């Protein structure tokens, strides 16, 4: 490709706005092809989605390449930022070679389909079950043999993905190198207004801030699991088998709350039973979510949201069930795609997804390249921040519970929240620690599952229930690996949501415990959130953080503040028990 002359400020501005017009059109076409594919998986929809993505990524790469020699210091700051975002906008970069680009997007679509179609027939079942049905067994069964069978069976579905994923890594790195990055992991780490190295240090620092609390929770839960499953199944001071946490990946432990709840601290609120008893349907779940956002001064969702979204798993075809939020035309065509179960966990997922939609809606007046989160952790944190305001007091306000449990129930409430949020932290970290090493070549295919298992043991303190080999491909049993969705965003969101919550609570003059504060109906909280959301990606993320919290640095201290009473309680509980593994 010819090296273009250094543009004048006006040339650059014109080039970028033309690029944005072109990208917007390709984005819309690609989103529509992807939507059809995600909600109706056939060979044809897979083909069309792969082709659309190849075209979109190739055009994005071409547009970006013409800006790499620009002297951005001479440009208006907004245009310099756009030139940067043009290079970093997508989680994949197309290789220069069109055949390689085509092979890459075809593989990406195939891997997604393989995950979406995965099934396992547990012992005693005649039919193969999908992930939702298997997850229900993990949530509800207390039979260790059954739990193990489900864990092993689901992880076996990922074995056939290994060859495709290995090739995917090669091609994705080609694309990243053609775009001027060392490998795809470095490209992902370049999106945070920091050098890739400084970003890696930042996340490690955040983990160090919160790890002591995780270790206390792990020690306490391990002791309780020993009481349930016996000293043979769970060692006194080692890592814990992964199939006992009520979740396929042990990424969130709230479903074993009944096993670990201290007798006197039952929070007295079981959202799942309440929703089921009230015969809440999937649309009803989403209506609760919308109502919260509207209470903050945001608009109701557009009419097309209700007709175009997928709320339930269709009976007659394969779909990608993993929850996601869409902004199909980067404007008003908002949708969610979920297979909603009526549970407290899914109540939170609905709020999570609507957080994405409300962010998308708020920044739709920005130029196309700024229609994105301040960074991807912000995008993931918005709905979760709202979920932190789903307090007993809030549930009473909206009529879901009659009375609010008193402060004597605080430990139970906090423990339940910690099983969701604190348990998640090391999981949120290890997925991309693994991928960064895979993309850099530090981890080779003959160590894919070995290195995955070691990271899980070292950070999460969990181990597979049965020995693994390199014929297994355990990372592929988690959606975001075959789906190529970067994951550090969820770790950052787990930190940020508590910082947002603390910032908003302070702004409202709240003086009670943070876990009892709800921003429902609070105009000032809505105003602050809107200021951040409307900014989109137009400014470096510290500006967005400041709009909500007055702070400019990501800080794990807010999470520690939120859980302080629980942490003190856990330390007492763990006095005579080993902590760590
Ligand atoms: O993938 C998601 C969202 C999609 S936007 C539902 N989450 C991660 C996961 O499920 O593993 C939310 C929390 C972590
Ligand atoms: Zn999300």
Q: What pLDDT is stored for residue 326 in this prediction?
A: 98
Does 323 sit in the ligand 1 pocket, CB within 6 Å? yes
Three-class SS of residue 240?
A: strand
Name the nearest CA neighbour of 347 among 381, 383, 322.
Answer: 383
Nearest 5°: CA angle at 279, between 276 and 280?
A: 85
Ligand nearest, relative to CA of residue 355: 2
Q: How many angstroms separate the alpha carbon of residue 5 from the centre of ligand 1?
A: 44
Cβ-based neighbours of 283, under 8 Å, separated by 6 or more = 306, 311
Q: How many of the other CB atoms lie within 10 Å of CB of 580?
A: 11
Q: What pLDDT is stored for residue 228 in this prediction?
A: 97
Three-class SS of residue 37?
A: helix
Closest C-alpha to ligand 1, atom 12: 490
Name the nearest CA neighbour of 501 among 435, 565, 557, 462.
Answer: 557
- Tell me which residues of the chain have a pLDDT lower than 50: 1
The answer to whether 250 and 242 have CB atoms below 8 angstroms apart is yes
Q: Residue 152 and residue 241: Cα distance in Å, rounded? A: 12
The answer to whether 491 and 431 have CB atoms below 8 angstroms apart is no
Q: Residue 459 and residue 341: Cα distance in Å, rounded? A: 30
Does 161 sit in the ligand 1 pocket, CB within 6 Å? no
Does 347 sit in the ligand 1 pocket, CB within 6 Å? no
Q: What pLDDT is stored for residue 265 in this prediction?
A: 67
Beta bridge partners of 463: 241
pTM strictly above 0.75: yes
| DSSP at 190 | T
| Sign, CA torsion 212/218/221/222 | negative
Q: How many angstroms separate the alpha carbon of residue 4 from the centre of ligand 1?
A: 41
| 490 CA closest ligand 1 atom index | 14
The answer to whether 102 and 171 have CB atoms below 8 angstroms apart is no
Pairing outcome for strands 462-463 and 240-241: parallel
The answer to whether 368 and 330 have CB atoms below 8 angstroms apart is yes
Which residues are marked as active site?
353, 480
| Sign, CA torsion 442/445/449/450 | negative
Does 247 sit in the ligand 1 pocket, CB within 6 Å? no
**What are the boundaries of each domain within the chain?**
9-112+165-180
Backbone angles phi, psi at 363, to 5 degrees: -100, 10
DSSP 458-477: III-EE-SS---TT--GGGG
| 349 CA closest ligand 1 atom index | 6
Q: Residue 8 and residue 189: Cα distance in Å, rounded? A: 30
Of 91, 327, 380, the one to substitute when testing ligand 1's pocket (max ligand atoms within 8 A of C-beta) is 380
Cβ-based neighbours of 509, under 8 Å, separated by 6 or more = none
Query: 117-126 — which CB contacts under 8 Å span 24+ positions?
Result: 117/41, 117/318, 118/154, 118/157, 118/158, 119/157, 120/150, 120/153, 120/154, 120/156, 120/157, 121/153, 122/146, 122/149, 122/150, 122/153, 123/149
Axis crossing angle, helix 43-65 with helix 98-117, rounded to the nearest 10? 140
The answer to whether 29 and 333 have CB atoms below 8 angstroms apart is no
| Sign, CA torsion 554/426/326/58 | positive
Q: What pLDDT is stored for residue 443 in this prediction?
A: 98
Q: What pLDDT is stored for residue 267 in this prediction?
A: 65
Q: How many angstroms separate the alpha carbon of residue 17 from the centre of ligand 1?
A: 33
Q: How many angstroms separate the alpha carbon of residue 480 from the centre of ligand 1?
A: 9
Length in residues, the chain: 581
Alpha-carbon radius of gyration of the chain: 23
Q: What pLDDT is stored for residue 173 in this prediction?
A: 98
Q: Residue 310 and residue 283: Cα distance in Å, rounded? A: 10
Does 324 sit in the ligand 1 pocket, CB within 6 Å? yes
Does 490 sit in the ligand 1 pocket, CB within 6 Å? yes
Q: What pLDDT is stored for residue 392 in this prediction?
A: 94
Cβ-based neighbours of 67, under 8 Å, separated by 6 or more = 12, 15, 16, 83, 86, 87
């Amino acid at each position: 490709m010819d090296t273009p002359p250094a543009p004048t400020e006006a040339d650059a501005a014109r080039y970028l706005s033309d690029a944005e017009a072109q990208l917007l059109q390709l984005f819309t076409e690609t989103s529509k092809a992807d939507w059809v594919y995600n909600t109706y998986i056939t060979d044809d929809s897979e083909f069309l989605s792969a082709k659309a993505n190849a075209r979109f990524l190739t055009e994005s790469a071409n547009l970006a390449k013409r800006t790499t020699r620009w002297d951005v210091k001479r440009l208006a700051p907004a245009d310099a930022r756009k030139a940067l975002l043009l290079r970093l906008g997508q989680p994949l970069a197309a290789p220069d070679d069109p055949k390689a680009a085509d092979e890459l997007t075809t593989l990406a679509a195939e891997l997604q389909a393989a995950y979406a179609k995965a099934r396992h027939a547990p012992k005693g079942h005649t039919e193969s079950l999908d992930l939702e049905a298997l997850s229900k067994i993990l949530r509800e069964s207390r039979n260790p043999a059954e739990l193990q069978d489900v864990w092993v069976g689901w992880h076996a579905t990922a074995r056939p993905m290994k060859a495709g994923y290995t090739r995917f890594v090669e091609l994705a790195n080609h694309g990243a190198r053609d775009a001027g990055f060392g490998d795809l992991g470095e490209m992902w780490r370049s999106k945070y207004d920091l050098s890739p190295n400084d970003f890696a240090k930042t996340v490690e620092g955040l983990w160090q801030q919160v790890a002591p609390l995780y270790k206390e929770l792990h020690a306490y839960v391990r002791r309780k699991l020993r009481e349930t499953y016996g000293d043979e199944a769970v060692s006194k001071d080692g890592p814990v088998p992964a199939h006992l946490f009520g979740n396929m990946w042990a990424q969130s432990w709230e479903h074993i709350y009944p096993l670990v709840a201290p007798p006197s601290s039952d929070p007295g609120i079981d959202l799942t039973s309440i929703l089921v008893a009230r015969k809440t349907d999937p649309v009803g779940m989403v209506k609760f979510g919308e109502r919260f956002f509207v209470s903050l001064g945001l608009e109701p969702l557009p009419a097309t949201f209700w007709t175009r979204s997928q709320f339930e798993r269709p009976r007659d075809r394969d779909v990608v069930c993993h929850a996601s939020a869409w902004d199909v035309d980067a404007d008003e065509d908002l949708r969610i795609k979920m297979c909603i179960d009526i549970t407290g966990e899914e109540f939170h997922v609905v709020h999570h997804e609507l957080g994405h939609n409300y962010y998308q809606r708020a920044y739709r007046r920005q130029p196309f390249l700024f229609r994105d989160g301040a960074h991807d952790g912000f995008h993931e944190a918005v709905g979760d921040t709202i979920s932190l305001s789903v307090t007993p007091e809030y549930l009473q306000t909206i009529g879901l519970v009659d009375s609010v449990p008193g402060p004597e129930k605080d430990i139970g409430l906090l423990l339940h929240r910690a099983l969701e949020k604190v348990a998640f932290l090391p999981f949120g970290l290890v997925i991309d620690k693994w991928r960064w090493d895979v993309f850099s070549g530090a981890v080779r295919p003959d160590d894919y599952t070995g290195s995955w298992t070691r990271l899980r043991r070292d950070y999460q303190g969990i181990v597979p229930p049965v020995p693994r080999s390199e014929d297994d491909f355990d990372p592929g049993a988690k959606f975001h690996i075959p789906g190529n969705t970067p994951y550090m965003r969820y770790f950052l969101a787990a930190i940020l949501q508590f910082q947002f919550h603390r910032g908003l609570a302070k702004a409202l003059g709240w003086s009670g415990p943070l876990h009892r504060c709800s921003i429902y109906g609070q105009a000032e909280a809505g105003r602050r959130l809107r200021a951040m959301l409307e900014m989109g990606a137009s400014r470096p993320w510290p500006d967005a953080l400041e709009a909500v919290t007055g702070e400019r640095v990501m800080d794990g201290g807010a999470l520690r503040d939120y859980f302080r009473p629980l942490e003190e309680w856990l330390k007492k509980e763990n006095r005579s028990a080993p902590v760590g593994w």
